[in-house]
C-alpha cells in the first residue's frame, strides 16, 4: 500500500493540452490536476468468505440482470415517467473540445467570489515559455485574472486564469445558476443588528485569536488513524481475495506460455 | 495478476465482433499468438491505435497519445505532429506485453509509421496503397498489383505484398534510410502516373480517388507521421479480417481478402514478410 507523504504529488500526465487564446495570441499549455483526493475507499466484501462483491443492474420488474448493451438512458420527468435518450442523441449536443481556453475579459482577481470556484489545474507551458511567462507576470502585476471558457472532456466550463506561486492556475467555475443565493434562505432575512456592547466584546475575542492563514495547521485525523489501523491489520493478516480464474483467462495463459516459448528461441 | 504478463486483463467477455460473437479474450489471444510474426515490423515504430471498446458496431476512435493510465513500462516517443499541431507521446511497441496491453484496450487496428523512431524523418518503407473504388473487383486489384510488380521487378526492386484487409492491397518496398518522405511520395506518385497512362482503371491523383470503377495508387501515406495498417493487424470489419502478408504467387484470381481473418491467419505456416527489413534497397535506379 502507498505510504502517505506530506505533499500531494504532481500527476505524471496532463489531463488536457491546448492553447490559451487571447484575441489573436496563442499560448500553448498543458493542464495538470492540482487537487489530489486523499480520501479512503473501501470495497464491499461478502462477510462469510471475504470475497469482493460485484454490482449488477437488475430490472425492478422481473429481478433479472440486464446487460450494459441492453440499457438506455432515461430522464425522469415525473416519478417513474421517463423520456428515453439514445447515445447518439446525447452525443450530438455535447460540446466538442476545440483545445482552446478563450480569455475574453480580465477582472480584478480579488473581485471573484470564491463560492464559484470548482476545480483547479496547474498550467504548464507547452514549448511556449516566453509567452507563458509574459502572460503570468503581467496579470500578476496588475492583480488581474482572465475570464473565459473551456471544454474539458465533454463539458464546457467558465474558467478563471490567474497567477499563483509562480504558475498560471486555471480554475473551473460553477455557473451562476448552480450556486444558491444566501438571500434566499428565510432564516437570514430575520437577522437583527447587534448592539454596541456585544460588538466590542466580540471584536476583542476575534482580535485575540487573529493570525495568518496556514492550511498546513490542519491535518486529516481520520486519515492518519486509518493509516495506523491499516498498518496494524497488515501485521495481523489480511483477508486475501481469491478471484477465480475464468475459462478465458486460462486460455490466454496457455497462449502466452506458447508464445513466450517461441519468442525466447 | 499473473507473472506471464504485466497486463491485467479487463472485460474479457466484452463482445467486440458482434456478428461473429467474438469476445475480447479471443482478440487478445489472436495478438498473443501472432506476436512472433508481428512484433518485428512494429519494432521502434510509432503506433496509432484504432480502438473499439464497445465493439465494431459502436464505432472506434484513433488514439495517437498514450492514453491516461498508460503504465510506466510502456515505451513512448515524443514528437511534434503536424496534423495535431502539438507534441504527442506516441506508444512504441517493442515487446509482447505492449502488444497485449493494446489488445486489452480493444485496439483492434494497429497502425504503424513508414519510418522508425531512430530516423523518424527518413522512411525505411515505401508504400504503394492500391485502393479500388467499386465496381472494381479484387481481381482488378490483383491485376494492377502485378502490373506494378512487373515494373518494379524490371528495375530490380524486391517488393512485399499484403492485403489491406478491406478492399485493396499494399505493396511495400523496404529502403535504406537516406531519402525523405517527399522523395518516397514522389517515387510512388510517378509510378501511379505512369500506370494511369497505361490502364483505364488506374488513377494517380487524389482528386480522382473516389471516381467509381477506378483504382487509385495512393502515394499520400508516404508522409511524416502518417501510418499504414500493420502487417497482421486485425480490422474492424464484420469478418474480422487481418492485413495479411502474402507470397506474390498466392495472389490468384478469385481470391477474396476476407479469406484472411482472425480464424485462418494463425493456420498459415510461413511469414512471407520475414525478409522485409533485411532487404533494404536503394531508390536510385542504375
Q: Residue A243: pLDDT band by 50, 70, 90 thresholds?
A: low
Crossing angle for the helix pair B24-42 and B96-104, nearest 10 degrees?
140
Output A40 or B201, whichever has higher pLDDT: B201
- Please report the pLDDT score of residue A36 as a whole number: 84
DSSP result, A242-265: -PPPPHHHHHHHHHHHHHHHHHT-
Domain count, chain B: 2
Query: Is residue A161 predicted with pLDDT exceeding 60?
Result: yes
Give the residue from A33, A248, A250 with the most B CB atoms within 10 Å of its CB, the best one to mutate.
A248
Is residue B73 domain-shared with residue B134, that is, in the same domain? no
Question: Rounded to a whole number, what is the distance in Å from the CA of A6 to chain B's nearest CA?
Answer: 23
Q: Residue B42: pLDDT band by 50, 70, 90 thresholds?
A: very high
Query: Is residue A225 predicted with pLDDT exceeding 90?
Result: no
Averaged confidence pLDDT in chain B: 93
Q: Which residues contact A31 (CB under 8 A, 6 or more apart)?
A: A14, A15, A16, A17, A121, A122, A123, A124, A170
Report the relative pairing of strands A81-85 and B215-218 from DSSP bridges.
Answer: unpaired
Task: Let me know if residue B251 belongs to a domain.
Answer: no
So where are chain A's domains?
16-36+100-177, 195-264
- Please report the pLDDT score of residue B1 as a whole number: 43
Question: Rounded to a whole number, what is the distance in Å from the CA of B16 to chain A's nearest CA?
Answer: 12
Collect all residues of chain B within an 8 Å Cβ-Cβ radius of residue A251. 25, 29
- Please report the pLDDT score of residue B285 as a whole number: 65
Is residue B129 domain-shared with residue B183, that is, in the same domain? yes
Long-range contact set of residues B151-158: C-beta below 8 Å, sequence gap at least 24: B151/B191, B151/B194, B151/B195, B152/B191, B155/B285, B156/B286, B157/B281, B158/B279, B158/B281
Give the residue from B32, B85, B271 with the most A CB atoms within 10 Å of its CB, the best one to mutate.
B32
- Please report the pLDDT score of residue A3 as a whole number: 44
**Which of A60-64, A180-184, A226-230, B205-209 has the lowest average pLDDT?**
A226-230
Task: Let me know if residue B280 belongs to a domain.
Answer: no
Is residue B79 domain-shared with residue B173, that is, in the same domain? no
Is residue B134 domain-shared with residue B82, that is, in the same domain? no
For residue A261, give the chain B residue with the closest CA: B36
Collect all residues of chain A within an 8 Å Cβ-Cβ radius of residue B9. 248-249, 252
Q: Residues of chain B whose C-beta is under 8 A from some C-beta in A?
A: 2, 4-5, 9, 12-13, 23, 25, 28-29, 32-33, 35-36, 39, 68, 70, 72, 86-87, 96, 100
> Pick from A12, A246, A255: which is nearest to B33 by CB?
A255
Collect all residues of chain A within an 8 Å Cβ-Cβ radius of residue B79. none
Q: Residue A239: pLDDT band by 50, 70, 90 thresholds?
A: low
> What would the mean pLDDT of A93-104 be, rounded to a whole number?
84
Residue A167: count other Cβ atoms within 10 Å of its Cβ: 16
Collect all residues of chain A within an 8 Å Cβ-Cβ radius of residue B29. 251-252, 255
Q: Are B129 and B206 in contact (CB under 8 A)?
A: no
For B204, the domain range is: 125-218
Is residue B15 domain-shared with residue B61, that is, in the same domain? yes
Is residue B152 domain-shared with residue B97, that is, in the same domain? no
- Give the C-alpha distances (Å, rounded to integers) separating B173 from A117, B129, B170, B282, B284: 58, 11, 10, 10, 13
- Hey, what's the cell of B268? 498459415
Question: Rounded to a whole number, what is the distance in Å from the CA of B31 to chain A's nearest CA?
Answer: 10
- The answer to whether A260 contacts B36, with C-beta atoms less than 8 Å apart, is no
Q: Residue A233: pLDDT band by 50, 70, 90 thresholds?
A: confident
What CATH number should be reported for the domain holding residue B233? Answer: 3.90.920.10
For residue A13, give the chain B residue with the closest CA: B68
Is residue B56 domain-shared with residue B70, that is, in the same domain? yes
Is residue B167 domain-shared with residue B232, that is, in the same domain? no
- Hey, what's the cell of A112? 471573484
> What would the mean pLDDT of A167-184 be, rounded to a whole number?
93
Give the residue from B3, B36, B76 with the most A CB atoms within 10 Å of its CB, the best one to mutate.
B36
Collect all residues of chain A within an 8 Å Cβ-Cβ radius of residue B96. 259-260, 263
**Which of B54-63, B79-88, B202-211, B221-230 has the lowest average pLDDT?**
B79-88
Collect all residues of chain B within an 8 Å Cβ-Cβ radius of residue A28. 86
- The answer to whether A259 contacts B33, with C-beta atoms less than 8 Å apart, is yes
- Please report the pLDDT score of residue B83 as a whole number: 79
Task: Let me know if residue B274 belongs to a domain.
Answer: no
Is the CB of A90 inside 8 Å of chain B's CB atoms? no
- Please report the pLDDT score of residue A130 as a whole number: 94
Query: Is residue B114 predicted with pLDDT exceeding 50?
Result: yes
Collect all residues of chain B within an 8 Å Cβ-Cβ radius of residue A253. 2, 4
Task: Let me know if residue B281 belongs to a domain.
Answer: no
> Pick from A18, A249, A263: which is nearest to B35 by CB?
A263
Closest listed residue to residue B237, CA positions, set B89, B104, B52, B61 = B52
Is residue B111 domain-shared with residue B133, that is, in the same domain? no
Is the CB of A15 inside 8 Å of chain B's CB atoms? yes
Question: Rounded to a whole number, what is the distance in Å from the CA of A255 to chain B's nearest CA?
Answer: 6
Query: Is residue A248 predicted with pLDDT exceeding 90?
Result: no
Question: Rounded to a whole number, what is the distance in Å from the CA of B167 to chain A's nearest CA?
Answer: 29
- Please report the pLDDT score of residue A238 as a whole number: 65
Collect all residues of chain B within an 8 Å Cβ-Cβ radius of residue A126. 86-87
What CATH number should be reported for the domain holding residue B201? Answer: 3.30.70.3300
Q: At the topology level of CATH, where does A16-36+100-177 sit?
A: Ku70; Chain: A; Domain 2 (2.40.290)
Q: Which residues contact A193 (CB under 8 A, 6 or more apart)?
A: none
Is the CB of A228 inside 8 Å of chain B's CB atoms? no
Is residue B141 domain-shared with residue B197, that is, in the same domain? yes
- Please report the pLDDT score of residue B180 as a whole number: 96
Q: Which helix (H) or strand (E) holds A203?
A: helix A196-208
- The answer to whether B32 contacts A17, with C-beta atoms less than 8 Å apart, is no
Q: Are B173 and B270 in contact (CB under 8 A)?
A: no
Instruction: Give tens-digit pLDDT for A107-126.
Output: 998 899 999 999 999 999 99
- Give the C-alpha distances (Å, rounded to integers) separating A125 from A92, A135, A143, B87, B243: 32, 11, 21, 12, 41
Is residue B52 domain-shared with residue B104, that is, in the same domain? yes
Instruction: Give tens-digit pLDDT for B164-214.
Output: 999 999 999 999 999 999 999 999 999 999 999 999 999 999 999 889 999
Say what the pTM is. Answer: 0.58
Task: Let me know if residue B136 belongs to a domain.
Answer: yes
Q: Are A15 and A32 in contact (CB under 8 A)?
A: yes
Q: DSSP character for A6?
A: S
Is the CB of A224 inside 8 Å of chain B's CB atoms? no
Amino acid at each position: 500500500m502507498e505510504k502517505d507523504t506530506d505533499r500531494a504529488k504532481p500527476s505524471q500526465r496532463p489531463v488536457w493540452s491546448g492553447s490559451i487564446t487571447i484575441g489573436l495570441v496563442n499560448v500553448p499549455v498543458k493542464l495538470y490536476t492540482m487537487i489530489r483526493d486523499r480520501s479512503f475507499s473501501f470495497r464491499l466484501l461478502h462477510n462469510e468468505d471475504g470475497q469482493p462483491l460485484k454490482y449488477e443492474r437488475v430490472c425492478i420488474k422481473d429481478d433479472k440482470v440486464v446487460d450494459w448493451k441492453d440499457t438506455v438512458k432515461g430522464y425522469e420527468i415525473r416519478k417513474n415517467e421517463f423520456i428515453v435518450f439514445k447515445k447518439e442523441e446525447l452525443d450530438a449536443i455535447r460540446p466538442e473540445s476545440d483545445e482552446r481556453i478563450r480569455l475574453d475579459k480580465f477582472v480584478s482577481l480579488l473581485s471573484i467570489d470564491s463560492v464559484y470556484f470548482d476545480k483547479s489545474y496547474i498550467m504548464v507551458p507547452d514549448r511556449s515559455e516566453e509567452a507563458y511567462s509574459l502572460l503570468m507576470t503581467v496579470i500578476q502585476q496588475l492583480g488581474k485574472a482572465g475570464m473565459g471558457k473551456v471544454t474539458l472532456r465533454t463539458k464546457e466550463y467558465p474558467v478563471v486564469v490567474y497567477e499563483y506561486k509562480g504558475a498560471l492556475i486555471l480554475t473551473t467555475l460553477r455557473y451562476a445558476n448552480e450556486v444558491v443565493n444566501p438571500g434566499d434562505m428565510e432564516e437570514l432575512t430575520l437577522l437583527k443588528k447587534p448592539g454596541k456592547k456585544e460588538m466590542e466584546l466580540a471584536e476583542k475575542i476575534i482580535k485575540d485569536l487573529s493570525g495568518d492563514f496556514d492550511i498546513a495547521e490542519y491535518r486529516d485525523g481520520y486519515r492518519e488513524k486509518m493509516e495506523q489501523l491499516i498498518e496494524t491489520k497488515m501485521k495481523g493478516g489480511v483477508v486475501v481475495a481469491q478471484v477465480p480464474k475464468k475459462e478465458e483467462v486460462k486460455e490466454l495463459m496457455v497462449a502466452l506460455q506458447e508464445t513466450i516459448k517461441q519468442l525466447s528461441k | 495478476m499473473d507473472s506471464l504478463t504485466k497486463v491485467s486483463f479487463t472485460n474479457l467477455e466484452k463482445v467486440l465482433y458482434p456478428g461473429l460473437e467474438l469476445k475480447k479474450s479471443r482478440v487478445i489471444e489472436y495478438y498473443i499468438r501472432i506476436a512472433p510474426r508481428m512484433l518485428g515490423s512494429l519494432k521502434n515504430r510509432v503506433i496509432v491505435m484504432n480502438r473499439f471498446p464497445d465493439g465494431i458496431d459502436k464505432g472506434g476512435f484513433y488514439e495517437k497519445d498514450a492514453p491516461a493510465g498508460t503504465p510506466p513500462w510502456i515505451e513512448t516517443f515524443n514528437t511534434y505532429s503536424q496534423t495535431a499541431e502539438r507534441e504527442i507521446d506516441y506508444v512504441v511497441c517493442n515487446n509482447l506485453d505492449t502488444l497485449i496491453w493494446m489488445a486489452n484496450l480493444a485496439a483492434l487496428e494497429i497502425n504503424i509509421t513508414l519510418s522508425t523512431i531512430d530516423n523518424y524523418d527518413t522512411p525505411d518503407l515505401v508504400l504503394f496503397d492500391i485502393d479500388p473504388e467499386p465496381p472494381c473487383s479484387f481481381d482488378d486489384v490483383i491485376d494492377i498489383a502485378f502490373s506494378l510488380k512487373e515494373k518494379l521487378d524490371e528495375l530490380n526492386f524486391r517488393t512485399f505484398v499484403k492485403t489491406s484487409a478491406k478492399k485493396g492491397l499494399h505493396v511495400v518496398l523496404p529502403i535504406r534510410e537516406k531519402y525523405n518522405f517527399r522523395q518516397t511520395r514522389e517515387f510512388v506518385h510517378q509510378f501511379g502516373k505512369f500506370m494511369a497512362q497505361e490502364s483505364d482503371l488506374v488513377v494517380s491523383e487524389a482528386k480522382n480517388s473516389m471516381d467509381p470503377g477506378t483504382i487509385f495508387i495512393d502515394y499520400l501515406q508516404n508522409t511524416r507521421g502518417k501510418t499504414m495498417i500493420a502487417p497482421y493487424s486485425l480490422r474492424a470489419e464484420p469478418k474480422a479480417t487481418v492485413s495479411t502478408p502474402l507470397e506474390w504467387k498466392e495472389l490468384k484470381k478469385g481470391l477474396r481478402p476476407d479469406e484472411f481473418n482472425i480464424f485462418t491467419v494463425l493456420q498459415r505456416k510461413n511469414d512471407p514478410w520475414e525478409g522485409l527489413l533485411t532487404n533494404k534497397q536503394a531508390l536510385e535506379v542504375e
